[in-house]
């Protein structure tokens, strides 16, 4: 069975049903059941018209669902009026569905779950496994999200920034490497980019590709984290880098910069360097200046300090951290960056203390292990003054 084909059809079929006038929440349940039915039967026999098959099965399930709903309410006399079957819409409704599922009224977690099911064509079980929660919990999260959306028009134009943020969150979940959510986020962003001329959509797609290109080098054979400067660059996927750079270049040419385009530009400069030592930090620092001006985000200021340390030396990098304590407080990344800069400055005792503090504060086991090992390496190294 062609899984990619099936998953691509899910939002189209849902679009058909919603356009016929069915309520989104019930239609989405019906499409999910048709999807499960397809998983069960298509291996045996693939229908000649997969989309038509899904529409038919989902419509049948929709009638069943409404009938049992009617029975539950003891309204047997309720008219089970099936809206007249209109022509199957050829227009791709994926974009409208994406906007609906990423509605600002939903929490990020709810928007992610609903997007993966209604637009991504994943089953509830697959989504539950990806987020390590029971299937029943994920099913409830999705139906609550749909209740929140009830009454929202299918065609309500939403804020594209919210859609992009949800897609980026899905992408970042993918790094844990359970279900391939990173690949899923790229697929959905690609679809969005085909239908939207907004340069930030292209910027996000480029950013994802430029990071995804390094996925095989990011962990060693034992699953331990490998930082950018230690990665085996021959394992980076050059085709994805080339595509990311091409998409980014076209987006930047439109001269409407945004944070995803700038982050992609930084990623591209890293991907471009044959060795870590050949990284163009001067340009990277210039992009960080732009990104900081655009976002005012203290985490950006933190990453900028690393670039400052590369361009003007570790003491300058450490000075760039001044004032970030107030904004970032107990954040482990502040300690991790400070440790890195202290180590490069030869102040190994202080670096070690900072690594240990970062290790204690992070919520990631992979990062904790990495930071703990960094601290252990410094124990035997003398201070450089």
CB 214, min distance to another protein, A: 13
Q: What crossing angle do the helices spanning 3-19 and 24-41 adopt, rounded to 10°?
A: 150
Residues sharing a CB contact under 8 Å with residue 289, sequence separation 6 or more, in sequence order: 304
User: Whose Cβ is closer to another protein: residue 88's or residue 169's?
Assistant: 169
C-alpha 97/C-alpha 166 separation (Å) is: 13
Q: What crossing angle do the helices spanning 332-344 and 348-361 adopt, rounded to 10°?
A: 160
228 binds another protein (CB under 8 A): no
Applying the rule CB under 8 A, the residues between 292 and 311 that interact with another protein are 299
142 binds another protein (CB under 8 A): yes
CB 59, min distance to another protein, A: 28
C-alpha 36/C-alpha 139 separation (Å) is: 14
183 binds another protein (CB under 8 A): no
Going by C-alpha positions, the residue among 92, 181, 168, 89 that lies closest to residue 132 is 181
CB 284, min distance to another protein, A: 19
User: Whose Cβ is closer to another protein: residue 319's or residue 361's?
Assistant: 361
Applying the rule CB under 8 A, the residues between 145 and 174 that interact with another protein are 172-173
Going by C-alpha positions, the residue among 145, 117, 146, 149 that lies closest to residue 130 is 117
Going by C-alpha positions, the residue among 210, 91, 115, 219 that lies closest to residue 165 is 115
133 binds another protein (CB under 8 A): yes
136 binds another protein (CB under 8 A): yes
DSSP secondary structure of 130-175: HTTS-HHHHHHHHHHHHHHHTT--TT----HHHHHHHHHHHHHHGG
Note whether 325 and 340 are within 8 A (CB). no
CB 191, min distance to another protein, A: 24
Given CA atoms 42, 48, 52, 53 in this order, what sign does their dihedral have? negative
The stretch among 71-79, 128-136, 243-251, 319-327 that binds another protein (CB under 8 A) is 128-136
Task: Using CB atoms within 10 Å of the CB of residue 368, give its burial: 0 to 12 exposed, 13 to 18 middle, 19+ buried.
Answer: middle
Site mask for another protein (CB under 8 A), range 314-353, x = bound: ------------------xx--------------------
User: Whose Cβ is closer to another protein: residue 54's or residue 101's?
Assistant: 101
User: Whose Cβ is closer to another protein: residue 54's or residue 305's?
Assistant: 305
User: Whose Cβ is closer to another protein: residue 74's or residue 221's?
Assistant: 221
176 binds another protein (CB under 8 A): yes
Among 26, 123, 140, 196, binds another protein (CB under 8 A): 140
Applying the rule CB under 8 A, the residues between 358 and 377 that interact with another protein are 362-368
Among 14, 31, 138, 307, binds another protein (CB under 8 A): 138
Note whether 3 and 45 are within 8 A (CB). no
Going by C-alpha positions, the residue among 148, 50, 39, 151 that lies closest to residue 102 is 148
Q: How many CB atoms lie within 10 A of CB 128?
A: 21
CB 367, min distance to another protein, A: 6
C-alpha 170/C-alpha 175 separation (Å) is: 10
Angle at 17 between CA 103 and CA 197, to 5 degrees: 50
CB 250, min distance to another protein, A: 28
The stretch among 88-96, 150-158, 261-269, 356-364 that binds another protein (CB under 8 A) is 356-364
C-alpha 375/C-alpha 352 separation (Å) is: 5
110 binds another protein (CB under 8 A): yes
175 binds another protein (CB under 8 A): yes
53 binds another protein (CB under 8 A): no
The stretch among 131-139, 201-209, 259-267, 319-327 that binds another protein (CB under 8 A) is 131-139
Where does this chain bind another protein (CB under 8 A)?
107, 109-110, 113, 131-134, 136-138, 140-142, 144, 172-173, 175-177, 223, 299, 332-333, 362-368
């Amino acid at each position: 069975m062609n899984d990619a084909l099936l998953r691509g059809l899910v939002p189209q079929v849902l679009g058909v049903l919603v356009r016929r006038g069915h309520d989104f929440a019930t239609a989405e349940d019906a499409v999910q059941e048709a999807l499960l039915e397809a998983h069960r039967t298509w291996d045996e026999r693939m229908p000649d018209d997969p989309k038509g098959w899904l529409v038919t099965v989902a419509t049948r399930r929709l009638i069943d669902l409404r009938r049992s709903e009617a029975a539950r309410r003891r309204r047997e006399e309720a008219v089970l009026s099936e809206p007249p079957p209109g022509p199957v819409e050829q227009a791709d409704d994926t974009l409208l569905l994406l906007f609906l599922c990423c509605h600002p009224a939903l929490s990020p977690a709810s928007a992610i779950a609903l997007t993966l099911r209604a637009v991504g064509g994943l089953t509830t079980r697959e989504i539950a496994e990806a987020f390590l929660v029971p299937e029943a919990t994920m099913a409830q999260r999705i139906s609550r999200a749909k209740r929140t959306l009830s009454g929202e028009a299918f065609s309500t134009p939403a804020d594209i920034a919210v859609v992009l943020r949800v897609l980026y969150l899905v992408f970042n979940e993918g790094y844990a490497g359970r279900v391939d959510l990173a690949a899923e986020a790229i697929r959905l962003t690609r679809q969005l980019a085909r239908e939207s001329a907004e340069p930030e959509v292209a910027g996000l797609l480029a950013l994802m590709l430029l990071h995804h290109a390094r996925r095989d080098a990011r962990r060693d054979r034992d699953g331990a984290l490998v930082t950018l400067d230690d990665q085996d660059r021959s394992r980076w996927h050059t085709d994805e880098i080339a595509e990311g750079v091409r998409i980014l270049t076209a987006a930047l040419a439109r001269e409407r910069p945004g944070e995803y385009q700038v982050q992609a530009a930084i990623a591209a400069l890293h991907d471009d360097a044959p060795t870590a030592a050949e990284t163009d930090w001067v340009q990277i620092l210039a992009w960080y200046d732009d990104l900081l001006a655009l976002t005012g985000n203290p985490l950006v200021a933190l990453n900028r300090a690393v670039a400052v340390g590369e361009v003007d030396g570790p003491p300058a990098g450490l000075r760039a951290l001044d004032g970030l304590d107030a904004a970032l407080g107990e954040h482990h990344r502040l300690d991790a960056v400070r440790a890195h800069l202290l180590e490069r400055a030869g102040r190994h005792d202080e670096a070690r203390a900072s690594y240990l503090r970062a290790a204690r504060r992070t919520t990631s086991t992979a990062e904790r292990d990495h930071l703990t090992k960094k601290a252990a390496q410094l124990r035997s190294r003398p201070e450089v003054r």
